[in-house]
Amino acid sequence: MVRTTLRTILLAGLAGVATARNCKNLTVSLSLSALNTNFALQAPANDIDVTDFVLNLAQPGMNYSQEVLSTSNQFIPVSGNYTIGATWCVPQWGPGKVLQVLTHGIAFDRRYWDFAAQGHKYSYVDAALARGYSTFAYDRLGLGASSHGEPVNEIQTALEVAALTELTSMLRSTRVPGVTFRYPKVVHVGHSYGSVQSYALTAAHPELSDGVVLTGFSQALGSFVPYFLLGGNFVEAGGVYPPGYMASADVPAAQTNFFAPGNFDQAILEAAYEAGQPVTVGELMTIGSATTRNNSFGGPVLVITGERDVPFCGGNCLTMKPSIPAQTEQYFTNASYFESIVVPRSGHGLNLEYSAQDTYASILDFFDKNV
């Protein structure tokens, strides 16, 4: 009876949505503040400057982020009112008990989780809905339908983690306008940089999550980020983005960083490139420091990464025993359960490769069993 009532309210709430998939696009206002890193650096003004920046950041034996730190103040307080573009989806039969908060990585926006090409054949969201989970995917602060910003000292990891933290506490207390249901459990799924941010969230606020899945992740990022930088063929993103927002110049760069040999459909690679989103100077300079500390999160953790992942494994996650993603167990000192999976033959862009359905099933099995 209660269930029927909830369902009726929910469906009424979603009545304005054209799709049969029970998804609703939202714009969420957030008031945020964070302590960012203060870099004394001009945003690269053209493609030559972008390449110089990449060569500096990728240089072995140097810490370029350290070199360009402001000599007056290492940290800079940033605050403001921002908006986040998000999509909330619920299963046909009602919201279920668990909401998954999905944070995408570099080169994508929220569409990574619900890729529309080929009739949603590569949709993690559809797989989650079919198992009774609701999803909340959003464009990370700085890109897509979310507020854009200054690319050196504003759009950085600390401010983006503040956005994820605030979104999560608003979702938990039904303060996101349009998301009317109070979910008994809220879990986090990240991809790549989104996993880095989900790690940072659960390390700083373990009480805000009931389970975390880090996809396309390891803690060896520091060793392999130069591969990603040099493989990415970065140029100014242009368009609606100011200088200092960078994107891959061509399809082969997207292939190098996200797709493993023999494991993808060329049309999906091209669609992923077309949908590509930029990365900021400030993001690239602060990505490494967010996962160096231990994490006392007390819930269940899954790390799932493609065997051929470039940025987090250098192209082979199995060069160590246990695997490179499995090494993350040492950092989760208080997890109720830890599991790691290396997806055979897959690259970094797990959701968009031939092995995608296996990846989705592994993630959803983990949630079914542990949350």
Ligand X SMILES: *[C@@H]1O[C@H](CO)[C@@H](O)[C@H](O)[C@H]1NC(C)=O
- Exactly one of 22, 36, 38, 65 binds ligand X (CB under 6 A); which one? 65
Does residue 110 touch ligand X according to CB under 6 A?
yes
**How many residues does the structure list for the chain?**
371
Does residue 111 touch ligand X according to CB under 6 A?
yes
- Exactly one of 36, 87, 153, 305 binds ligand X (CB under 6 A); which one? 87
Cα separation, 108 vs 277, in Å, equals 5
- Which of 216, 15, 199 is closest to 124 using CA atoms? 216
* Element of type H or E holding 69: none
Alpha helices, H only, the chain: 2-13, 47-57, 64-67, 117-120, 124-130, 157-172, 193-204, 221-231, 251-258, 266-274, 281-286, 356-370
Cα separation, 190 vs 302, in Å, equals 11
Does residue 79 touch ligand X according to CB under 6 A?
yes
Cα separation, 315 vs 356, in Å, equals 18
Does residue 226 touch ligand X according to CB under 6 A?
no
**With respect to ligand X, which residue has the nearer C-beta, 46 or 333?**
333
Does residue 289 touch ligand X according to CB under 6 A?
yes
CB of 201 to ligand X, least distance (A): 15
Does residue 308 touch ligand X according to CB under 6 A?
no
- Exactly one of 80, 238, 252, 322 binds ligand X (CB under 6 A); which one? 80
Cα separation, 180 vs 1, in Å, equals 18
Q: Which of residues 127-186 bind ligand X (CB under 6 A)?
A: 145
Distances, alpha carbon 16 to alpha carbons 44, 86, 116, in Å: 43, 16, 20
CB of 69 to ligand X, least distance (A): 6
- Exactly one of 31, 46, 319, 357 binds ligand X (CB under 6 A); which one? 31
Q: Determine the interface stretch with ligand X among 44-52, 271-279, 291-299, 341-349 (rule: CB under 6 A).
A: 291-299
Chain residues binding ligand X by CB under 6 A are 25, 31, 63, 65-66, 69, 79-81, 87, 110-111, 145, 222, 288-289, 294, 296, 298, 330, 333-334
